[in-house]
Structures are given as structure tokens and as C-alpha cells.
Chains A and B, each alone.
Chain A
Amino acid sequence: MAVGTHGESFMETDPPASHPARHGGGEASDPGLDGLAHVANKIRDAVESVIEGKPSVVRLALTVLLAEGHLLIEDVPGVGKTMLAKALARSVDCSVRRVQFTPDLLPSDITGVSAYNQELREFEFKPGPVFANIVVGDEINRASPKTQSALLECMEERQVTVDGTTYTLEPPFMVISTQNPVEMEGTYPLPEAQRDRFTARISMGYPDPAAELEMLETHGETSPLDRLTPVAHAADVRGLIDVVRRQHVSAAVRQYAIELVAATRSHPDLRLGASPRATLHLVRAARAYAALDDRDYVVPDDLQDLAVPVLAHRLLPTAEAQVDRRRPEQVVADLVRRLPVPSHGK
């Protein structure tokens, strides 16, 4: 699969290869749950044609896309992080920018810079790579925290402020970042604030032998990424997002989400629990997750499935827990196992 470092270009724009046929032309007004399933399945198939044998990872990625979130893909080099990011970006026909985070990257390299136009004799704003629908930030933790912080505003507020001027980003806006685990050499840990802005962190994991064998065959001729054509338009995705927003979350499930997040805050193994934003992200992701499951309501199972990817990367273990090698993932899984699901009547 793709190697971890794409050194070919410092800043790269993936040109959309060809436009997919739009649904009925114009904005898809209300695709509904069936339309969502239809479009989502197409995207999923497209991504899975590149990433073999990882349906749950693909599903999580799609969930984050529909939940208007940002995705952090963390794993050791060479397991297909960038491939997943690029495949997801490419299956949707929208503007995609790719930023290779290097140690010498500066904040203005991401947000854009006001340059003096000698002809017009005025400062002209040159938008950075964040001005796109999907931003693929590769190896995000190889840049210094200073540079990483440039993403803070755009990720949360979906706007960029340069020289006092605020530029709004066009929806859908999604940051897909890859990173190596912090134990790897030459990496900076992401600041807590930054991590909290990612809806979910997923890890790829090694493919099973069969998938790896098939990968060898398909990658022998051409990269499957090159053959990937967009299957959905940005407007379609916006419609899907609207559908997801209307998903029903019962009071019981909301209460469950709150209890789950609150439990991380009082857990003795955790120095820092999950934020209210985490609760928000969790419920949003659960909505999308339920929609992908063809349901118009959220069940606690959605929250349980999403708890580890959505919550774990925001938590800071205590020193003791670190010494005992109790990872936040285990803590969250443990909480999910122990917290009773809400029953009726609440």
C-alpha cells in the first residue's frame, strides 16, 4: 500500500478525475434514508475497492464524513492510512487538498497568506490548502505544534482568519489526518485541543493474509487509487448530512451518552476526561452510524461501537495508569462494558 511519506510534492492538489453523474441534477433536496443508504453504499464500495478487508474502518471513516467531523488515522507506517484518506477524498467529487506536514511547515502554509500584489498594489489573500471540502493532512504529527495549531480554528469553526479577515469554509469540510503513533521517531504529540477537534481516531491495523495477498495482485499493475472515480457529489454529501442531522436520538440514549462521557471524567485511571465537545461528537457520530445501518433512530449499540474511536484519543491517562500500561482505549471499553444501557421510562 501507500508508503508513509509522500515526498513528491510539498503541497498537492488532487484534481478531480471526472465528474460523476448527479442525482436528478442540481442539489439533491432530500435523499431520505434510502437515498442515504444508496449513496453511502456507493462511497463505501469505492473506498473498499482500494482498502481491502477493512469494512469497519471504512464504515467509521464514512461515519465521520456524514457526522461533519474530522478523522484522525493513526497507525504505524505502511498500513494504508494515506490510501484510506485519499480514497475517501477521491470517491466524493469535491475539492480535495493534501498537505504534507513536515517539521518545517509554517501555519501560513496551511491557512494561506496575504501577499502583496505589485500590479494591484494591494495585499491579496492567497488561500491555503484548508480552503477545500476535504483536506488530507498527511503525517500531521511531524509538524511542530505551532503549525498544527493552525488547524484549530478551521476544524472547529469552519473558518479561517488571516490578517483580521475571516474567511468561511464551504461545507462539507472534513480534515482527514494521518499520523504515526507518538512513540515513533520524529513525531510531536498533538496538542489536547487539536485532538479534541477530531471526531474519531481510527487505526488501520494490519490486513489479514488473504487481503494482503489480494493487495499484492491488485497493486501489481496499477494503483487502484488511480482507477477510482468519484461516485458522489459534494451536494449529495450535504444532503446526506442533512438526513443525518434529523436522526432521532431518544432522551434515554442522550442520557446514556452523557453518562458514558461523565464516567471518563471521574475515572481514577484518567487524568483528563472527555469534553462536552466529545459528547456532541459522540452523538453526532452515532446519528451517522445509525443512518448507515439504515435506522432512523440511535440505539446504545451505536454509542458503544463508537465510544472507543470517538473518546479514547481525547483522554489522558494518569501516570500510574501509564506505568501499568492501561491505555485509554481499554478504559473506555471497560466503561462501555460496565455502564448499564438506558432502559425505558427515562
Chain B
Amino acid sequence: MTVMAGLATLAGSIGLYPLFESGGWFWAGLGAVLAVAGAGVLARRLRLPAVVNLLFGLAGLLLYLNLVYASDAAWLGTIPSPESVGHLGDLSESGWRAANRYAAPVPVLPGIELMTAAGIGLVAVLVDLLAVRMRRAAPAGLPLLAMYSVPAAVREDGVSWLAFGVGALGFLALLMADAREQVGGWGRTVSSFRQREVPLAGADPRPDEGSALPDAAALVASGRRIAAGAVAIAVLVPAAVPGLQPRGMFGLGGDGNGGTQTVTTPDPLVSLKRELTRLDDSVVLTYRTNDPEAPDYLRLYALDKFEGDRWTYTQLDSHPRDRLDERELPPPPGLSVASSREVTTRVRVRPEVRDMSFLPVPYAPSEVSISGDWRVDTRSLMIYSLRDSADGRAYTVTSRRAEPTIGQLAAAGNHPADIVSRYTAVPKNVPREVKQLAEQVTAGSATTLAQAVRLQRWFTLSGGFTYDLSAPAPKHGSDLVDFLLHSKRGYCEQFAASMALMARILGIPSRVAMGYTSGSEVRPGQWVVRSRDAHAWPELYFEGTGWVRFEPTPSGAGGQGTAATPEYTLPETTGGGGEGSESEPAPESSSPADNGGPAPQPSARGRNDTGETGGAAAQGDEDGGFSAAPWLAGAVLVLLLLAVPMALRTFTRRRRWAALIPRPGPASRTRPGARAGARPGSSPGAVVRAAAADPAGAAHAAWREMRADALDHGLEWRASDSPRATARRLGELLELDAEGAQALARIARAEELARYALSRSPEPPERLRADVRTVREAFAASVGRGARWRARLLPPSTMAQTWDTLQSAGNRALDATARLNELPARLRRK
């Protein structure tokens, strides 16, 4: 019983694992449990009252902790002294601080280990007291539950089913041991292996039959079944029902941090304002680049979701397979036509930087070498970590910097549907004035690029906007409207957000990127990025190039100091007049002009579609909680599962015959069916060959096949019926015609001879196979359509087979547990 209580505590403590980074705590907990159990045993030996028992347990725990963590300061290394207790206090205080500092999983520091051991030890004391001393095994589950609820509450994704199962089984074992001791008080428990009786077919004993004396073994077995079933249901049901568990069905089976996790970080835009307004303008990072031109911005986030108030990014579904060291970075989306060059950047982030869980990298990263658990969001190519921070780290990024020409951008074709649906969604509550403004600003533009360029120019030059860092951070959609229509004062955030929004209104896929500008060059190839370089900018999607940075924020002294307008967005400054800029790319891309010409139209249409209906639908999708993909995958999985019995059935059928019928040539393949009624003498060769094969095997195969067919069609199959009785019964049941009756009789006779006689059936296997087919058709004709389809899709014969296998496996497992339970008793007897 003591052992069981200890085991139950340990099993319950396994649930704590997701809180820690490594496994050292477990041994500390084990020691604590042992110490408590030992103290408990001692107290019971001395027959002390329950209160003293509790004190003994606590004393044992204290001794143990003292011995392990503060032996230096203790008397004789073991007995607690004021200093050692003080040391323990210090240690636990540091553990407390560490626990507050770190989010789970925490590193196993001595202080934390001490606290864990003490916690487990306390639970062990309570469990020991309740279950062993006071003989209340069921309430002993409460401290165990309390221990279990700690990780369940702390970790959002809960505790893995395995740990839960182990904990639950531990508690059940405790209950069982208690019950066993109680029963044992009345006498010796009888060995409870279930005896296997004569296997009577359909043996459902009448209720008065077995009631003569209560069968203890059956009781024990059913008790175990109930317990195992309850645990299994508790584990499986939440996994099977989507919505009860964030991970759903498909995350099952991974280890604790193996499942997909949702990444939540503070709103990036809030930190942007804080960075920009920092007085000290400290250095955030330095980097060295081999880019001969001005290096690209360093991007932290890509905000792809605008829900009326502010730009955010779609929740990241993080998965271990997204780790940088485990996968290649995906190619930048959409980059196919435009040329690109490879840029290598060596970044060193200053150690003072806090909470940088996203890596600033130039777009589009193709290779990142950094230590730690860094993962990539495959859609946006953001690099992030769930537990590491970039502070003080150095890493190398290889990125592909697209170099689109104006012609390429102007000739960009239709956007892919997934890009359109994701990046052109505009919420309904955007005021009409903003839409009109967008149309008005870009009126007369022939291409998407022209629209974008006009927007940018409007923001930077013609719109009358003023860069003003003191403007309040936009909190609501109305703030943006105010910025656009009235105040026209803001900083990069307003500019970027507005331009991205207007681009969406115009049907151009857009998002807001956040990060840092390229900073300032201190030495050739050496760049420094300060906190004032924090920046936000819009990225617009052009097919063939991918995401293209625009810069609506005024740069220079009157704006974002280090912002740089990309070259390809400046046709006006180079080309002069607005109309000229419009026509300028046209000759360069004379051939794609045909493609480029209609491009805005589809995209505008796309905007209409997605803006009104698709956008709303996309919105609804995201808000509804379930996206279609998992359901679709689930449906496919269900279909696959449904197809399994059918496939198994076909496979069994094939296998049964494959061994018996020497693979016929392609010509003779169709013959057995064709000459089902022919006399065997008509092809003596086949008869001889079949006879040389295994006639008994053929008969058995035919018989089993027929049995499976009968079961599939829902016909009763009695185990107590011999072949001839079965044939007789089926024949009467189905009212077979002469041919069917003969086929049935032949199969039955062949099987009977094979089973019971010395002689063998002269029927060749091909003939029997044809007979089986005839009979199967008769079966199918005799039942309704529903049964026919069930026979095809969900053959019960296969199901029964599977069920039998499962059941026998379950029985074996039960037997094993029964033997395991007997073990202590038997050892004691010896």
C-alpha cells in the first residue's frame, strides 16, 4: 500500500514534465517520495496517531531536502541546523524568483528543483496520510489532482495524453491496492486468471446459468475493463472531438512540445512606437553585409491581417518541423520573373535588447544560421522563437533580394487566388470616403504599379502629409481615417498602414512589414541600426517578383531618418510627369503590355469579389475558429478509414486464391468465370494441375470466402452448422436456382471432404472460385440494396476479424495485468 501510494504520486508527478526543460527534477521528486514513504512506514511501525504520522512525513521530507540541498550547513551533514534551514530558504527564494522570471518550460535550477521536490514531497505526504494511514484511497486523488492541475493550468496546450494516462493509472492502482487489502482482510484472494471455457458459439449464458456462485475472476476482469475503458475514454474523446483540445486529433502522439503551438507575442505596433520615441536612441544591432548597394530593410514581422482597427499577423501555428535546422526555408513567394541576387548579412544583436523573439532579417531569407530553437513561418518567412530571444546573439542570414525592373512590375499578371484571398481582404467598416480617396488618388493609372506608385507619391509628396512622431498611435480604424482625411499627421505606422489599406481597396495584395530600416553605414559594409530606425512599411505583391517594398513615409530630416525609397517605385522622379511615368514602362514591355494591360481589371474585379464577399468570408473563416483545411483533411482521413475494410477484404480475397490457383496466363484469366457451368473434363490440363496443387486448401479457401461473403451480406452463419447443414440452410433461405444450388453444394461438399474425409474433392480451384462467385451473386441478389452496399464498403467479415484481434489482444493485456497483480501476493507467500 505504501509502495502504491508512492507510485501513484510519482505517476501523477510525471504530468509536471512540460514545466521543465530537462528531466533532473524527476529524480529529486523520486527521492522526496521515497523519503516520505520511509517516514510513513516508520510512523506506522511505531503505531503513532495520524497527526504524528503527518509530522513524520514532513520531517522526513525536510531531512531529505536538507540532506540533498543543504548538507554543507547541517550538523553532521544530515541534521538540519538553523543555517541549513536558512540555506534552504534562500534556495527556495531564488527558485521562486526564477519561477517567476521564466515561463514554462523552466530550466532546472537548484532552487526550482528544490521547490519541485518539496511540492511533490508534500503531495506524497498527503497521499500517504490519506491512503495508507487513514485508509481513504479515493480522497487521496485530490492532492494528486492538484498536482496534475498545475501543468494543465500553466501550459496552454495542456498535458499530453500519455502523462495523463500514467497519472490516472497510478491513481487507479492505488485504489486497487486499497481494495485488495480490504478484501485480503477477509481471506486470501483467489487467483483471478480467467479460465477459458469451452468456446460455445453464441454463448450468451442465461442469467440464471452463471449465477450459482459469483465468479470473482469475472468481477475482477470487468472491474479492470471499466477502469481501462474510463481512462481510454478520457484520453480519446477530447482528442477525437475537435474544439475540446486546441491541438485536435492530428496533434495527438507528439511529445509535449512537439505539438503545434500558437504563438502570442505583444502587439508589435505598440513596441514600435516605444522604440521610436526612446530618448537614448541606443544601438539595437550591427551588421555586416556584402550587398554593394544600400542594403534592404531588416524585417521582423509581416502583418497580414487588417480587421478594421489595426494590422496584426495571423496567429502562427508553430510546429517543431518548422525549426530552421530541420527544414529548408521555403522560396520567397511569387519570385519567378524578376532577377534576384544573393546577399549575405552577418547580424549581431546587442545584449541589452530585450524580448526580441523575432529575428530582424533582410527579406527574403533563404538560409539562417543561428543557435537555438528558431522557427520559420512558411507563409511570411518570419523567423521567430518560442523560448529564445535574439539578444546578444550573432547570426548569418543569406537572403535573396529581388531586383525587379519597372517593366517587370508593370507587367505583373494576375495574382494567385490564395494571395488574393488572404491579402486583399478589406473589412466592411472602412468608410466610403477612404475608398473614394483611393480611387481618386490613383485615377487614370493603367497598371497596378502605377496605382501603387501614385499612392506612394501621394503620401510622400502630393498628399500634404507631415511626419510627426508625437501623433498618437492609431488604435482604431477611425484614427486611420482621421489621419488620411483630416489630420494628415503621423509616423511610419500610419503611413504604412494607410497605404497598405488603400492598396487593398484597389485590389492590390498588401501587408504591413515591421522591423528596422537599413540603418547607417559606419564603415564600408558595416551598418549600425539604432532604436530610432524602427520602422513600418507596406509591402505590395506583384506576381513574378513577390513582395515589393514601398515607402510612403517621408524620409530624411523631416521624416524617418534612414528610410530609403526603393528605386523601382520612383518612376516619377526619374521620368517626370505623371502621365509620362505611366507610359514609360509601356514600350519597355511592349509584348507583356497585352498581359499587363488587362491586369488591373482582373485585379479590380478580384478586389470586388474578395472585398465584398470573399473578404467577408475569409473574415468569417478566421473568426469562426475553424478553417476548412483541417475539416477537409479530417474528411479525407475518414474516407480513407472507411476504405480500409473494403481494401482489406479485397486483399484477403486475393490472397486466399493467389496461393492456390497457379497464376493463369492473361488469356485464361477470364476463363474460370466464363465456364462456370462447364464440366471439369473439358479442360483436363487444368484439373490435373489443380489436383497437383492443394485441393483441401482450395476447398478451405472457397469455404472461408463464402463464409465471409455470407457475413458481408448479413446472412446468419452458425458456427455449429457443418458444411452440409450450412449449405442446406442457405439454399433454403436464398431459394437458389439450380445453378446456384449446385455451386453451393459443390463448395460444401469440397469443404466437407477436405475437413473430414480421406478422399479429396475433384473440383479444381478455378471451378470452386467460380462457384463462390455464383453464390456471392446469389447472396447479393437476396438482400436489399443497403446490405449490398454495406457488403461492398464495410464488409462485416473484416470488421469482425479486426474486432476479434483487438479483443484477444485486450484479453491478453488483462491477463498480464492480473498476473502482475498476483506477483506481490505470490512473492509474499514465498
Q: Which residues of A contact B (CB under 8 A)?
A: 248, 250, 252-253, 259, 262-263, 266, 268-269, 295-301, 304, 335-344
Contact = CB atoms under 8 A, between A and B. Distances in A.
A340 B720 contact: yes
A340 B201 contact: yes
Interface stretch (B113-121, B353-361, B495-503, B753-761): B753-761
12 contacts: A248-B756, A248-B757, A250-B757, A259-B198, A301-B724, A304-B720, A335-B200, A338-B202, A338-B203, A338-B720, A343-B700, A344-B755
B696 interface: yes
A338 B202 CA distance: 6
Contacts of A336: 720
B199 interface: yes
B725 interface: yes
Contacts of A338: 200-203, 720
A232 to B, nearest CB: 27
A341 B719 contact: yes
Contacts of B203: 338
B720 A337 contact: yes
A274 B218 CA distance: 28
A262 B754 CA distance: 26
B592 to A, nearest CB: 76
B722 interface: yes
B757 A297 contact: yes
Interface range for B: 20 to 34
Contacts of B202: 338
A263 B721 CA distance: 17
B722 A248 contact: no
A299 B720 CA distance: 12
Contacts of B209: 268-269
A253 B723 CA distance: 13
A301 B757 contact: no
A248 to B, nearest CB: 5
Nearest to B203: A338
Contacts of A341: 719-722
A340 B755 contact: no
A262 B198 CA distance: 9
B757 to A, nearest CB: 4
A223 to B, nearest CB: 38
Nearest to B728: A301
A298 B722 contact: no
Contacts of A248: 756-758
A269 B205 CA distance: 12
Nearest to B721: A341
Interface string B421-454: 0000000000000000000000000000000000
Contact of B722 (A259, A263, A300, A344): A300
Contacts, number: 72
A263 B205 CA distance: 14
A33 B190 CA distance: 56
Contacts of B700: 343-344
Contact of B696 (A252, A296, A301, A344): A344
Interface in B704-757: 718-725, 751-757
A336 B719 CA distance: 10
Nearest to A336: B720
A296 B719 contact: no
Given A304-B720, A342-B755, A344-B700, 9 more contacts: A263-B200, A268-B210, A295-B757, A297-B756, A299-B722, A301-B724, A337-B718, A339-B200, A340-B201
A339 B756 CA distance: 17
Contacts of A337: 718, 720
Nearest to B696: A344
Contacts of A342: 755
A43 to B, nearest CB: 25
A344 B722 CA distance: 11
Contact of A250 (B199, B718, B756): B756
B678 interface: no
Given A263-B198, A268-B209, A338-B202, A253 B720 contact: no
Nearest to A337: B720
B720 A339 contact: yes
A344 B703 CA distance: 11
B212 interface: yes
A296 B209 CA distance: 40
A298 B197 CA distance: 26
A341 B268 CA distance: 76
Interface string B481-518: 00000000000000000000000000000000000000
B200 A298 contact: no
Contacts of B724: 299, 301
A148 to B, nearest CB: 34
B757 A296 contact: yes
Nearest to B210: A268
Nearest to B707: A343
Nearest to A340: B719
Nearest to B206: A268
Given A268-B209, A299-B724, A338-B720, A344 B754 contact: yes
A297 B720 CA distance: 19
Given A300-B722, A301-B724, A304-B722, A340 B199 contact: yes
Contacts of B721: 341
Contact of B198 (A252, A253, A266, A343): A266
Nearest to B200: A338
A256 to B, nearest CB: 9
Residue from A252, A266, A304, A338 having most chain B Cβ neighbours under 10 A: A338
Nearest to A262: B198
B152 to A, nearest CB: 50
Contact of B756 (A259, A263, A268, A298): A298
B486 to A, nearest CB: 90
Contacts of A252: 755-756
Most buried by B among A263, A301, A336: A301
A40 to B, nearest CB: 20
A325 to B, nearest CB: 14
Residue among A259, A296, A339 with most chain B CB within 10 A: A339
Interface string B197-228: 11111110000011010000000000000000
A299 B198 contact: no
A31 B225 CA distance: 62
Contacts of B199: 340
B200 A299 contact: no
A95 to B, nearest CB: 37
A253 B757 CA distance: 10
A339 B758 contact: no
A248 B758 CA distance: 7
A297 B203 CA distance: 29
A197 to B, nearest CB: 27
A297 B696 contact: no
Interface string B676-710: 00000000000000000000100010000000000
A126 to B, nearest CB: 49
A301 B719 contact: no
User: Lowest 10 CB-CB distances: which A-B pairs, in order?
Assistant: A340-B719, A297-B757, A300-B722, A338-B200, A340-B201, A250-B756, A341-B722, A301-B722, A344-B755, A297-B756
B755 A343 contact: yes
Contact of A339 (B198, B723, B725): B198
B138 to A, nearest CB: 37
Nearest to A267: B209
Nearest to B699: A344
A221 B226 CA distance: 76
Nearest to B700: A344
B716 to A, nearest CB: 12
Given A263-B198, A339-B201, A250 B755 contact: yes
Contacts of B198: 259, 262-263, 266, 339
Contact of B752 (A266, A299, A304): A299
Of B752, B753, B755, most buried by chain A (CB within 10 Å of CB) is: B755
A337 B202 CA distance: 9
A304 B210 CA distance: 25
B804 to A, nearest CB: 14
A250, A252, A266, A344 pick with most chain B CB within 10 angstroms: A344
